Amino acid sequence: MPKTGYSLSEIAIRRPVTTIVASLLIITAGIASLQSIPIRELPDVDSSVVTVTTRYQGASPEVIDTEITEVIESAVSGVSGVESISSQSRRGRSRTVIQFAPGRNIDEAANDIRDAVGRARRSLPEDIENPAVVKSDSDADPVMRIAVASSKHSPEQITDYVERYIVDHLSTLDGVAKVDVRGQRRYAIRIWLDRRAMAARNLTSSDVEVAIRRSNLELPAGDITSSQRMLEVRLDGRLTDPDDFAEIVIRKVNDYPIRLKDIARVERGVENDDLIIRANGRNAVGMSVLRQSQANTMTISKYVRDEIKVISKTLPEGMEIIIGSDDALFITASIREVLIALAISLLLVVTVIIIFLRSFKAALVPIVTIPVALIGCIGIIYALGFSINVITLLALLLAIGLVVDDAIVVLENIKRRIDNGESSYTAAVKGTRQVTFAVLATSITLIAAFIPISLLEGQVGKLFSEFGLIMAAAVVISTFVALSLCPMMASRILNDKSAETENKTPKTNITEDNQLPQSRLHSTYGFGLNFSIKSPVIVISLALAFSLGAISLYLTLPRDLVPREDRGVTFIPMTAPQGSTQAYTDSQSKIIEKKLRPFQEDGSIQTVYTIIGWGNRPYRGFVVMRLAHWDDRDQSQAEIIKKIRPITRNLIGVRAGVASPAGLGLRGNSTPLRIVVGGPNFDEVKRAASELLTYAQENEDLINPRMDYEENQPQINLILDRQRANDLNVSVEEVALTLQSLFASKEVSAYIDRGREYPVIIQAERKDRRDLSSLSNVFVRSGNAATGASSLVPLSVLVSTSESAAAAELRRYDRLPSITISAGLAPDYTLGQALDYIESGAADALPASVKMTYSGQSKVFKSTSGGAMVSFAIALLIVFLVLAAQFESFVYPLVIILAVPLAIAGAIYSLTFMDLSLNVYSQIGIILLVGLMAKNGILIVEFANQLRAAGYSIRDAVVRAAVLRLRPIVMTVLSTILGAMPLVLASGAGAESRIAIGWVIVGGLGLALFLTLFLTPVLYDLMARFAKSKTSEAVS
């Protein structure tokens, strides 16, 4: 039957200019897109997170939980798209974190939350600060920590300068959600009440509050309008100076004025001094830069650093801005390392091609595939809205070894036919046609294997969706180039041996065209292959033993979420006993700073940034250490942590541990193990969680197991005698307001200073708030309804006292009272082992009414590990079905797929011997092996089918096909292995993750290659008789 058209390769050979233009257009599109693609550490898969923070000065956790947290949770739970709600109630502060389903617009989500909170405002206490709604998790790790220190300015002056000249400039930068000022000493008028002086003058704190409000206010005074002019009337009713406040008249007694200075000490002080910041041992004011949920960390860092350069030029003398930590440093270094690895990979692949082909001119044919495919992928990245990040660069690096595979198969077949006497033109046409089906089959199979990676669930799964799609795009482009540009180039640059040997008749039949090569390698392989096919039991037994041995190792393989990377930052979270003062916690942090000094002196640690009172809790501290750049230190982060760990273990006064940030943008770095126990009420949840915590503490590999519900916060309970209070006509409100003003402090007014408003705060002197006896001199007003007279009554006659312990904070998860058990992990203890241990204990410790869930890294690990296994199974199934459709048979795909377990076994052996864990990177590598191993089998099976169609017996066909395809198989496998070799040899930022996936590829393909070359022909010889021989096209 005459041909009715030309194939892609024939069109490309006949029209070389068009073919070159097509490839150049792909390159042009990639280069044009490069400047418009954002650069990030990871793909943009952040879910929308909104935080509602409400402050209620001095309120206990119980009051915060019932009067604020529950109200806000009820209000926001009805907002569309809410995926989870978690809340925290602690002294003076409520925080509710709302996480939305993927795809929810962050701006719309924040507006909806603001509307919901606004509707609930009237249900909240009147004197709280207005709830703050922020487009990020307010407890999220900041992308930058900045300190402002000075040798000539007080903390108050530094704070004032930071708020006036720095914070506003940084907060308005693109991508910045918020700039939190830490350790600030914000100006305030402090009025320190003398309770004895007040009692002597028959005054209470309520009287003082009313007098201050009455004397310091400004109301609209209207205007005066004449026929031609209008004058605005403004009353200067504001006070601005402490001396002015001191002269306020509280009351007149016998025409003698009692002024504020008679009963109180008035000074310009600070609003809050509960947080201490130090940078390299110097007191400072800190700034934490929080990024918006979907913002670019590198862009934020660039903008912030540029702005700091501008601000630094105008800083007062002696003031200095110190960058304590910057996540963008790791991102930059990590991307640089991947680019270096990509260049090395490119060089190795090109070298192996030249060595095998023994001709630089011939090697140009597959080599040109690399730039076309890689640069073309840049255009695909732009078109799909992706970014250049560590994940997409990793995909491009691994693609280097893959994109030349098809070109190698095409070129090797063309070159073999030329060596057998055909002209270069004829060999290009017929040789490409002969392997077109194999090239398409391998490419479609690889793409089918990448699809499940793009469909992985969970946060980590979404991160790797770009990885799978970019790998698939690289294969599509390389297939197009292999079937167009490569045969066109081969037809023009390869030596035409038929012209050199005019008396030699070209091979024109299948027998002559497929003569076996006579090299020593091919002869040895052919001899071994004939022996293996005649003794299939030996080959199958070896393959089974190889695979079964890996199964036993797989069961003992440690499981982790991500490898522990050297990110150039480490930190020490510290916790003092509940009830500890800020001064005590600070003294313990100074011990740590002193012991870290030798590390700063030898250059290992660049900056030590200390936070005392972390999270508004005086018993918590946080020490952040920014390590020297990776190029400037000989020790890895793990080695430095190993040396620091004895410092924390030997601390007696606080509980502390050393931790490092997790990879893939995951939070919860110091406590990867996080178990949430939820139930109907806190008492029942507490009993169950306590049993589980006791079980966790028995495991020495769990570092500092703790639960976030600990009733060890000392508390004084005041029990009001309501009958006596009624008899004396003292209201509960009067008692509560008096206690709030004297002990919790109360903002009663405000003053203006240089255009900014600052609070006026009343509180009892510090010496009157030291112990339980301080309550003895507190007086409240008693009124006589009949006479209208009033007198002061000691609070002690109305209340009795008792001491107890209470929880410092209360938490809820999905609106249920919850307690979280968290722990760090020993260096050689994985998250998978920790979760297995806890789950075994939870089966016995938790009653039916209490449920256990996961949060943080533990939640991600559970969703990822299950999803990876499902994706692996789906990849196997898809590859099998795709092969069945291509071969029109279920037998041939089975022959190909049965070699896949050898590669998986090789990967497991590699992970075991290199003492690596099974983590998300190694799991992705294992899924990749499904497509990579199937590719080799396709080359043998498809060519064997062609030979059978030409009249060869099954055995002769498979032996001849395997020997003829030996060189392209070895070349493609070596290209892939060498392409991944830079990952195995990686160092510097983020090397641990690259090493994990690198060893899976190198070990899986390398160890399985030898067995696969014998197992696939043996299986074909045994099983092909059950299938008809079919091929895509008759051999010419």
pLDDT digits (tens, 9 = 90+) for 446-457: 787 777 776 666
Per-residue pLDDT, averaged over 644-671, amounts to: 76
Q: Which one is predicted more confidently, 17 or 939?
A: 17
Per-residue pLDDT, averaged over 788-795, amounts to: 74
Residue 117 carries which side chain, given as an amino acid letter? V
User: pLDDT for 2-38, tens place per residue?
Assistant: 444 567 778 888 888 888 888 889 888 888 887 777 7
Per-residue pLDDT, averaged over 815-823, amounts to: 83
CB 476 within 8 A of CB 372: no
The secondary structure of 26-90 as a DSSP string is HHHHHHHHHTTS-B-SS-S-PPPEEEEEEE-TT--HHHHIIIIIHHHHHHHTTSTTEEEEEEEEE
Q: Is 165 helix (H, G, I), strand (E, B) or coil?
A: helix
User: pLDDT for 722-745, tens place per residue?
Assistant: 888 888 888 888 888 888 888 878
- Give which of 111, 205, 15, 352 is closest to 748, Cα–Cα: 205
Distance CA 484, CA 12 (A): 5
- Give which of 918, 897, 738, 710 is closest to 832, Cα–Cα: 918
Max CA-CA distance within the chain? 137
1035 pLDDT band, cuts 50/70/90, is very low
Predicted local distance difference test score (pLDDT) of residue 827: 67
Predicted local distance difference test score (pLDDT) of residue 40: 72
817 DSSP β-pair partners = 812
Angle at 159 between CA 158 and CA 164, to 5 degrees: 100
CB 738 within 8 A of CB 205: yes
Distance CA 709, CA 89 (A): 11
pLDDT for residue 504 is more than 70: no
Per-residue pLDDT, averaged over 311-319, amounts to: 89
Domains and CATH numbers, the chain: 187-215+234-270+713-806 (3.30.2090.10), 514-556+888-1036 (1.20.1640.10), 568-574+586-660 (3.30.70.1430)
Question: What are the structure tokens assigned to 902, written together?
Answer: 């050898």
Sign, CA torsion 320/325/331/332:
positive
Distance CA 686, CA 847 (A): 12
CB 334 within 8 A of CB 394: no
- Give which of 745, 744, 728 is closest to 779, Cα–Cα: 728
Distance CA 986, CA 394 (A): 12
- Give which of 489, 831, 460, 836 is closest to 666, Cα–Cα: 460
Distance CA 775, CA 523 (A): 100
pLDDT for residue 496 is more than 70: no
> Which own/partner contact pairs does 872-877 have at CB distance under 8 Å and 24+ positions apart?
872/452, 872/923, 872/926, 872/927, 872/930, 874/452, 874/455, 875/448, 875/449, 875/451, 875/452, 875/453, 875/927, 875/930, 875/931, 876/900, 876/930
Angle at 7 between CA 5 and CA 11, to 5 degrees: 90
Per-residue pLDDT, averaged over 533-561, amounts to: 83
pLDDT for residue 104 is more than 80: no
Distance CA 1035, CA 539 (A): 31
Predicted local distance difference test score (pLDDT) of residue 669: 61
pLDDT for residue 500 is more than 60: no
The secondary structure of 603-667 as a DSSP string is TSEEEEEEEESGGG-TTEEEEEEEEPPGGG-SS-HHHHHHHHHHHHHT-SSSEE--B---STT--
Percent of the chain surpassing pLDDT 70: 91
What's the mean per-residue pLDDT of the chain?
A: 81
Please report, to the nearest 10 degrees, the dihedral formed by the alpha carbons of residues 272, 276, 282, 287 taken in order: -80
pLDDT for residue 160 is more than 80: yes
CB 1015 within 8 A of CB 543: yes
Contacts of residue 812, Cβ cutoff 8 Å, sequence gap at least 6 = 65, 69, 73, 85, 86, 87, 89, 818
The secondary structure of 486-555 as a DSSP string is HHHHHHHHS--HHHH-TTSPPP-SHHHHTPPP-SHHHHHHHHHHHHHHH-HHHHHHHHHHHHHHHHHHHH
CB 562 within 8 A of CB 666: yes
CB 260 within 8 A of CB 246: yes
505 pLDDT band, cuts 50/70/90, is very low
Distance CA 364, CA 619 (A): 67
pLDDT for residue 579 is more than 80: no
Chain centroid, CA 43 distance in Å: 10
Per-residue pLDDT, averaged over 774-789, amounts to: 70
User: pLDDT for 908-936, tens place per residue?
Assistant: 888 888 888 887 788 888 878 887 788 77
Residue 138 carries which side chain, given as an amino acid letter? S
Per-residue pLDDT, averaged over 996-1000, amounts to: 85
CB 479 within 8 A of CB 441: no
pLDDT for residue 704 is more than 80: no
Q: Which one is predicted more confidently, 141 or 526?
A: 526
User: pLDDT for 1005-1017, tens place per residue?
Assistant: 887 877 788 888 8
Distance CA 475, CA 20 (A): 19
pLDDT for residue 550 is more than 80: yes
Predicted local distance difference test score (pLDDT) of residue 220: 78
Q: Is 481 helix (H, G, I), strand (E, B) or coil?
A: helix
Per-residue pLDDT, averaged over 128-151, amounts to: 78
Per-residue pLDDT, averaged over 47-67, amounts to: 84
Per-residue pLDDT, averaged over 472-491, amounts to: 85
Q: Is 273 helix (H, G, I), strand (E, B) or coil?
A: coil
1034 pLDDT band, cuts 50/70/90, is very low
pLDDT for residue 140 is more than 80: no
Distances (CA, A) of 911 to 446, 450, 594, 873, 906: 23, 22, 40, 20, 9
Predicted local distance difference test score (pLDDT) of residue 667: 62
Residue 770 carries which side chain, given as an amino acid letter? R
Question: What are the structure tokens assigned to 349, written together?
Answer: 């692949």
- Angle, helices 637-649/582-601, rounded to nearest 10 degrees: 140
Sign, CA torsion 316/320/326/328:
positive
Distance CA 992, CA 1025 (A): 47
Distance CA 587, CA 593 (A): 10
Q: How many CB atoms lie within 10 A of CB 450?
A: 25
- Using the CB atoms, write b or e for 466-497: b if 16+ within 10 Å: bbbbbbbbbbbbbbbbbbbbbbbbbbeebeeb
Predicted local distance difference test score (pLDDT) of residue 866: 62
Predicted local distance difference test score (pLDDT) of residue 378: 87
Give the residue carrying structure tokens 């947080």: 275
- Give which of 855, 935, 861 is closest to 435, Cα–Cα: 935
Per-residue pLDDT, averaged over 226-247, amounts to: 84
786 pLDDT band, cuts 50/70/90, is low
Predicted local distance difference test score (pLDDT) of residue 502: 43
Sign, CA torsion 336/338/341/346:
negative
Predicted local distance difference test score (pLDDT) of residue 456: 66
Q: What ranges make up the beta strands (E) of 140-229?
A: 144-150, 176-182, 187-193, 223-225
Distance CA 162, CA 149 (A): 10
Predicted local distance difference test score (pLDDT) of residue 923: 80
Write down the H helix ranges in 358-423.
360-367, 369-383, 390-419
CB 413 within 8 A of CB 435: yes
Predicted local distance difference test score (pLDDT) of residue 304: 92
Per-residue pLDDT, averaged over 123-149, amounts to: 79
- Give which of 242, 238, 190, 246 is closest to 215, Cα–Cα: 238
**673: region left, alpha or beta (phi > 0 left; psi from -120 to 50 alpha):** beta
Write down the H helix ranges in 248-292.
260-263
Sign, CA torsion 28/30/31/32:
positive
CA-derived radius of gyration, the chain: 37
Strands 176-182 and 187-193, by their bridges, are: unpaired
- Using the CB atoms, write b or e for 731-758: b if 16+ within 10 Å: eeebbebbbbbbbbbbebbebeeeeeeb
Per-residue pLDDT, averaged over 304-324, amounts to: 89
305 pLDDT band, cuts 50/70/90, is very high
Per-residue pLDDT, averaged over 328-336, amounts to: 81
Residue 169 carries which side chain, given as an amino acid letter? H
Per-residue pLDDT, averaged over 531-544, amounts to: 85
Residue 767 carries which side chain, given as an amino acid letter? K
Half-sphere exposure of residue 70, counting CA atoms within 13 Å on the CB side?
Answer: 11
Strands 187-193 and 756-764, by their bridges, are: parallel
